[in-house]
Amino acid sequence: MNFKNMMKNELNCAICKSLKIKSLGNYSPRDFKLDNKLPYFKCLDCGHVFSADNPTVELLTQFYNYKFKDGNYQDYTTYHLDKNVEFNNIINKYIKPYLSLESKILEIGCGEGFFLSSLLTNGYNKLFGYDISDYIISKARSRLPKNVTLYDSLNYDLSQILEVDKYDAIFAFDVIEHIYDPRVYINNIYKGLKKEGRILFTTPSADSIANKILGERWPYFLPLEHLNIFSNESMKRILTDVGFKEISLKNKKRFFSLSYGIASLESIYSLNGNLWKIFKYIIKVISKVFKGVNINLGLMICT
């Protein structure tokens, strides 16, 4: 595809439709080999950052199955205790004050089911999960009790799931950035909510200080994975256009244990060598006393 020609003739912002588009350069997918780097673009009107790629569901299923089986998503599942800390904080702050234990809850992008498991521990039992990876859904089924209903994209279409049933709340953590057409995605979520239903999701923020400081080394520039990176303005626009009335956007820190932080740095920046090994050993010793830290890497939480 001739991206230079697209810039001149046909590329516009998926959120505000502006033609004022700036190229941010080309990037390589993490932990996945491609012949060419892929470009990111930024809308100069609403600040939305996006990739021009439109991968098929079949390609994405293959890609995410690889990431969970053999790629860096193994780190996510290995260090699930980090997620448990984070999810319990979210449940206490954003869920318990607003949702009764009888609430019907759907998580999109549920992975192995760590968040659903945290909800079960806190007394919620009308739970549903959806993920694009049939491989990871099979792992979730082995982890969760049978009364949790799970769907994968090979056998179920998300839009049909949201048409058939209505939910008190729909959650999606670090998912919307993976969606090629976020307008269709959010519109389907809106239709799948009950009248007083709530959404809650996290996603990288194009407005974040971390993005501005790290530039092209910001860890959320991940072509094939992160197809859309929202600014506050682009997020408010798309939610308002779909029909949401009360919108809250806040910066969100993420909890990292020292061991997970080291594994992530190693994966993102391909760190190795003797000095790195010595540093890892020192961190391993420190982590026996100091468990972890909340870090602002540039996320927003939307409720």
pLDDT digits (tens, 9 = 90+) for 169-226: 999 998 999 888 899 999 999 999 998 999 998 899 999 888 888 887 887 888 878 8
Tokens of 175: 């998912």
How far is the C-alpha of 264 from the C-alpha of 50, rounded, in Å? Answer: 23
Rounded to 10 degrees, what is the CA torsion of 288, 294, 299, 303?
Answer: 110
Tokens of 109: 């992008």
Paired residues of 50 in beta bridges = 41, 228
Q: Quick one: pLDDT band at residue 271, thresholds 50, 70, 90? A: confident
Non-local (6+) Cβ contacts of 27 within 8 A are: 37, 38, 39, 40, 216, 221, 222, 223
Average pLDDT over residues 113-134: 93
- Per the structure, the complete domain to which residue 291 belongs is given by 3-302
Structural domain count of the chain: 1
Tokens of 206: 């194009």
Res 124 pLDDT > 90: yes
**17 or 257: whose pLDDT is higher?**
17
Non-local (6+) Cβ contacts of 289 within 8 A are: none
Sheet-wide strand order for 167-173: 149-152, 126-131, 104-108, 167-173, 193-204, 292-302, 249-257
Give CA separation, 58 vs 72, 133, 258, in Å.
20, 10, 36
Least confident piece of the model among 67-76, 115-124, 229-238, 284-293: 67-76
CATH number of 200's domain: 3.40.50.150
Burial of 24 (0-12, 13-18, 19+ CB in 10 A): middle
**104 or 58: whose pLDDT is higher?**
104
**pLDDT score at 113:** 92
Q: Quick one: pLDDT band at residue 245, thresholds 50, 70, 90? A: confident
What are the helix and strand counts (H, E) for the chain? 12, 11
How far is the C-alpha of 125 from the C-alpha of 110, rounded, in Å? Answer: 15
pTM of the entire predicted model? 0.81
Burial of 67 (0-12, 13-18, 19+ CB in 10 A): buried
Res 3 pLDDT > 70: no
Average pLDDT over residues 107-126: 94
With CA atoms as reference, report the closest residue to 48 among 36, 40, 58, 56: 40
